[in-house]
Copies of this chain bind each other. A is one copy, B any other.
Amino acid sequence: MAAFRIPPRLAADCHRLGRLVLSDVLLHRDAALPWLILVPRVDVTELCDLAAGDRSALEAEIDRACALIRKAFPDTTKLNVAAIGNLVPQLHVHVIGRHPGDACWPGVVWGKLDSGSTWPEDRLRELAAMLAGASQ
């Protein structure tokens, strides 16, 4: 199999925050919301087609992403977790921190978020360090 590469559309929309055992972890560039995207480094499109061991690993990494968002963004009152992939077939899971009054509340974020706000470099470094801590 060729070396795994993040699909170009995701790479263009996101910062690369770090690497867990199974997944690369991206952060959507729009800073209006904490929007992580886990991309398992396996050639699969659907969650239900993952090998059992990879599925367990992915679920654990989803939980780590949720914990990171809750810790780094204490105003989070709801988490959205979704595998959609209509535009990017490579399996990827969105983990998004939400709260009433956020840029898309109570709607979903997909196709809606375009605030133009960007992440400060020091916040990106902080989130990457927290993720690296969570991966140990």
Residue numbers of A with Cβ under 8 A of B are: 45-48, 55, 59, 62-63, 66-67, 78-87, 89, 98, 105-108, 110-111
The answer for the CA separation of A107 and B86 in the assembled complex, in Å, is 7
The answer for the CA separation of A105 and B87 in the assembled complex, in Å, is 9
Q: Are B83 and A82 in contact (CB under 8 A)?
A: yes
Q: Which residues of B contact A48 (CB under 8 A)?
A: 62-63, 66-67, 79, 81
Instruction: Indicate whether A81 sits within 8 Å of B82 (C-beta atoms), given known contacts A48-B66, A48-B67.
Output: yes
Most buried by B among A86, A98, A111: A86
Q: Are B87 and A106 in contact (CB under 8 A)?
A: yes
Instruction: Indicate whether A81 sits within 8 Å of B83 (C-beta atoms), given known contacts A108-B108, A111-B108.
Output: yes
Q: Are A55 and B59 in contact (CB under 8 A)?
A: yes
Most buried by B among A48, A83, A111: A48
